[in-house]
Amino acid sequence: MKKRFAILLSLVMMVSIFTACSAKGPDRLVIAARGGSHVTAMEAVKEAFEKEHKVKVEIIGLEAADLKQKVSLDAKNKQGAYDLIMADDPWMPEFSEGGIFANLSKLGVEADDDFEESSIALGKNPYATGDLYALPFSGNVQLFFYNKQLLESHNYDVPKSWEEVLTIAKDLHADGASGYVIRGQQGNPIVSDFLPILWAYGGQVFDDAWKAQVNSEPAKQALNTYIQLLAVGSNYETTDIVSSVSEGRAAMALGWPSWFIKGEDASADYAPIPAKGTANAETAATGMIGNWMMGVTANAKNPELAAKFLTFITSSETQKKMVEHGGVPTRKSVYLDKELSAKYKHFPTQLEALQNSVARPRTPKWSRVEEALGSELSAAIAGTKSVEKALSDANQAIDQIMQ
Amino acid sequence: MHSKRRFQWIMLAPVLILLTGLTVFPIVYTIVNSFTDYYYLASEAKQYVGLSNYMKVVKDEVFQQAVWNTTRFMLLAVAIETIVGLAIAVLVESMKRGVKILRVSILIPSLLPPVTVALIWQMMLSNHNGIINHMLSWFGFDPFNFLMDIRIAFYAILFIDVWQWTPFAFLLIYAALQAVPKSQYEAAKVDGANSMSIFRHITVPNIMPALLFVILLRTIDTFRLFDKVNILTGGGPANSTTTITQYIYRQGVYNLQIGYGSAAAIVMAGLVLVFSVFYIKRSIGGAQDELRH
C-alpha cells in the first residue's frame, strides 16, 4: 500500500513539474544592468512598456566587474540568458568585436541627431564611424568638484589650469585643510583620476599607430603634478572623497556627477575639469566621458522586442521621466528642456562637459592596458618607483599588451 | 564473486561520474588550455603556444609579487590564527562559567561570508566615517589611511583575516581539547608536573592531529585569499596586496585570457601542493599507521 502511494506521489510530482515547465507565461525580457541608480530609474518607467507589449521586463543589477564577467561568459551560449545588456563605454570595442552585441541597424534601431555626439560615438564600432551596436543610456562625464566656501575663504576662483589647482591646494594645506583628494586605488580608479590631468598637459596613452606614449614629457609633468597634489592632499576612496569635499575638510577633487549630485541638490560645487596644465598652455579636452551603454545581445531570445525596449528606454520622453529617479540623460533635448534645466542646475555644466569630453582609447585591450597603467601609477604615488621608472615600465607593459 | 564486484562498481558509479565531471575534467581542461592562447571572445580557434604562457607568468613581476604576498600572508595568517586559536581554546577550556555564551560569540565572525566581512571592514576603516579612525581620534591620533597606505594595507587585510578565521581554529582545537582524557592530567598532577609541563607533554601531543588539521585547512584557504583583497584594495597600493588568486581572476576571468589564466592557476596549484604535501603525507601516514594497529 505504502509502495503504491509512493509511486503515485512520484507520478503526481513529475506531472506537476512537467506542466510547470511547459506552461507558457507572458513574454519576458531580461536585462543585465549595472546595479544602483540605473536599475532604480528603469524600474520606475518600465511599466508603460510592459503594458503596451504585454511583456515582463526583468532587470538584474550587478556590480561592474561581475556584469562584465557574466555578460562575456554568456556570449558563447547559443541562446543567451540576457536580451539586453549594459556596458561601460571602454568595454565597447571588446564587446562589439567579440560578437556580444547585435548590430542595431539590422534590428531597425538608428542613431538620431538628438543624442549627444560624443555619447553616440561610443556605441559605434569602429569608434564614431562604424556600425551601431549600442545606444548611450547614462551620460556620465567627470567633473571638477570643489568646496566653494573653502576656496572663497582664501579668495580663489575656480582654477582653470592644474598649475592653479596645485597653488590653491598648497595654500589651503598650509592652513590645515586637505588641498586636493586623489582617488588612488590601484586599477580603474587611479587611471580614471589621472587621465584628465595627462590630457590637460597634452599627453596621450597612445599615438596614432597604437604605440604607448605614457613615458612622454607631458606624462611626466602630469604625474609629478599628481604626486605633488597628493603631498598636499589625501588619497581616498569614493565615499571619503565625497564626504571630505562636501564637508569642507578637503578642497578639490575629480568625480562623477552621481557621487555629489542627488536629484536637485549638489553637496559640492562643480565645474568642467581644468583644461590645461599651465596657465599659458593651450587648452585640451579633459572631461573623461564614462557613459553606460545599452545594446541587444547577439544571442537574445527575443531581439526584435529587445530592440523596441532599447528605443523606448533611450527615448527623450523616457529619459525625462528617468531623471526624476536618478537617471542621467544622453539626449540634448533633455538637457535643454527648460523645466528640467531650471530644476536640475547641473544640466548646463554637464552638457558642456559632455560636448568637450574625451573617450578613453578605443581598443579591445583597454581593460589590460588600464590594469598595467594603474599598477605603475600606484607604484609611483606609493613611492616604490620614481616617476620616470614607473612611466617607462608602464610604456613597456602597454606595448607588450598591444603586440 | 563477479556479481559482488559489479555491485561495488554500480555503487561507486555516481561518485566516479561526479568526480570525473567536477574535478578530473576541469583539471585536465585547465591543463590543456594553459598551453594555448585561448581568449574567450576570440573568433579564431585557440592555438597551441607550448610553454609560452608559463614563461610569461613566471617572468611577470606582478605574479612574482603576488606569490611573495600570498606566501607571506599564508605564513603569518596561519601562524597567528593557530596560536591565538589555541590560546583562546585553552582559556575557554579552563573557564567554569559563561563558556556557552563565549563559545557562540567567538564563532560569529567565521559565520559571515568573506564579502560581507570585507564590506563591513571597508566601512569601519574609512578615513572620515569609519569607527576605527573615530576611536583613534579620541586618543589624539590623526586618521590612518589603512587601505591606501603601502606600509599598512597588507597588515590591515591580515588583521581582518585573523579576526575572521581565528574562531575557526579555536573551534577545532577546542573540540580536540575536550577529547583529551582527564586521567592523564590527574596522573601528571599526582606526579607533581607544573602547568607548563602538562601543556607541553600532555595537551600538545594529544591535540597535535587537530593542530595539523587546522594548519592544513588554513594553509589551503589563505592561499586562495581573494574577496578581501579585491574589495578592499584591488591589489594595491603598488601591488603590495595582490594575491595569486586575484591575479588569476584579473587575467583569466576579468580580461578573459583563459589560456594565460589557466597557466597561472596550474602554477598556483603546484605551489599549494608544495606547501601542503607535508601535512597531507603526514595525515595519510598517520591514518595508515592507525589502520595497521
pLDDT tens, B239-270? 999 999 999 999 999 999 999 999 999 999 99
The pLDDT of residue A232: 97
The pLDDT of residue A1: 54
C-alpha–C-alpha distance, residues B253 and B117, integer Å:
23
Cβ separation B148–A385 shorter than 8 A: no
Give which of B41, B61, B133, B154 to mutate to test A binding, by max A Cβ within 10 Å: B41
Q: Are A253 and A145 in contact (CB under 8 A)?
A: yes
pTM over 0.95: no
Q: Are A122 and A359 in contact (CB under 8 A)?
A: yes
Evaluated on CA atoms A356, A357, A363, A364, the torsion sign reads: negative
The pLDDT of residue B158: 97
C-alpha–C-alpha distance, residues B177 and B198, integer Å:
13
Cis status, amide bond into B237, omega within 30 of 0: yes
Q: Does any CB of chain A come closer than 8 Å to the CB of residue B238?
A: yes
- The whole-angstrom distance between A307's CA and the closest CA on chain B is 23
pLDDT tens, A243-282? 999 999 999 999 999 899 988 889 999 999 999 999 999 9
Q: Does any CB of chain A come closer than 8 Å to the CB of residue B240?
A: yes
Q: Class assignment of domain A25-140+290-358?
A: alpha beta
In order, the DSSP letters of A337-352 are -HHHHHH-TTHHHHHH
Report the residue from A94, A189, A240 with minimal CB separation from B41: A94
List chain A residues with CB under 8 Å of B239. 186, 375, 378-379
Q: A25-140+290-358 with A143-288+365-402: one CATH topology?
A: yes
Cβ separation B255–A379 shorter than 8 A: no
The pLDDT of residue B289: 58
Q: Are A279 and B167 in contact (CB under 8 A)?
A: no
Q: Does any CB of chain A come closer than 8 Å to the CB of residue B115?
A: no
List chain A residues with CB under 8 Å of B252. none
Give which of A193, A237, A367, A370 to mutate to test B binding, by max B Cβ within 10 Å: A237
Give which of B43, B44, B148, B227 to mutate to test A binding, by max A Cβ within 10 Å: B148
* Amino acid in position B139: F
Residues with pLDDT less than 50, chain B:
none
Cβ-Cβ pairs closer than 8 A, A with B, add up to 91
In order, the DSSP letters of chain B are -HHHHHHHHHHHHHHHHHHIIIIIHHHHHHHHHHTB---TT-SSPP-B-TTHHHHHHHH-HHHHHHHHHHHHHHHHHHHHHHHHHHHHHHHHHH--SSHHHHHHHHHHHHHS-HHHHHHHHHHHT-TTT-HHHHHHHHTTPPPP-TTT-TTTHHHHHHHHHHHHHHHHHHHHHHHHHHTS-HHHHHHHHHTT--HHHHIIIIIHHHHHHHHHHHHHHHHHHHHT--HHHHHHTTT-STTTT--HHHHHIIIIIIS--HHHHHHHHHHHHHHHHHHHHHHHHHHHHHHHHHHH-
- CA B35 to chain CA centroid, Å, is 28
Q: Class assignment of domain B52-287?
A: mainly alpha
C-alpha–C-alpha distance, residues A109 and A240, integer Å:
41
The pLDDT of residue B4: 87
Q: Residue A153 has which C-alpha cell?
A: 575663504
Q: Does any CB of chain A come closer than 8 Å to the CB of residue B66?
A: no
Report the residue from A97, A236, A384 with minimal CB separation from B238: A384
Cβ separation B41–A243 shorter than 8 A: no
Give helix B61-94 / helix B258-292 axis angle, nearest 10°: 40
Q: Which residue of A has its CA nearest to B229?
A: A186
Q: Hey, where are the domains in chain A?
A: 25-140+290-358, 143-288+365-402
Residues with pLDDT less than 70, chain A:
1-26
The pLDDT of residue B267: 95
Q: Cβ atoms within 10 A of the Cβ of B277, count?
A: 10
Three-state SS string across A268-330, please?
Answer: CEEECCCCECCCCCCCCCCEEECCEEEEEECCCCCHHHHHHHHHHHCCHHHHHHHHCCCCCCC
The pLDDT of residue B169: 96
Q: Does any CB of chain A come closer than 8 Å to the CB of residue B45?
A: no
Q: Are B174 and B93 in contact (CB under 8 A)?
A: yes
ipTM of this complex > 0.85?
no
- The whole-angstrom distance between B78's CA and the closest CA on chain A is 27
The pLDDT of residue B280: 74
Q: Residue B245 has which C-alpha cell?
A: 588568486
Nearest to A158 by CA among A148, A143, A172, A169: A148
- The CATH number of the structural domain formed by A143-288+365-402 is 3.40.190.10
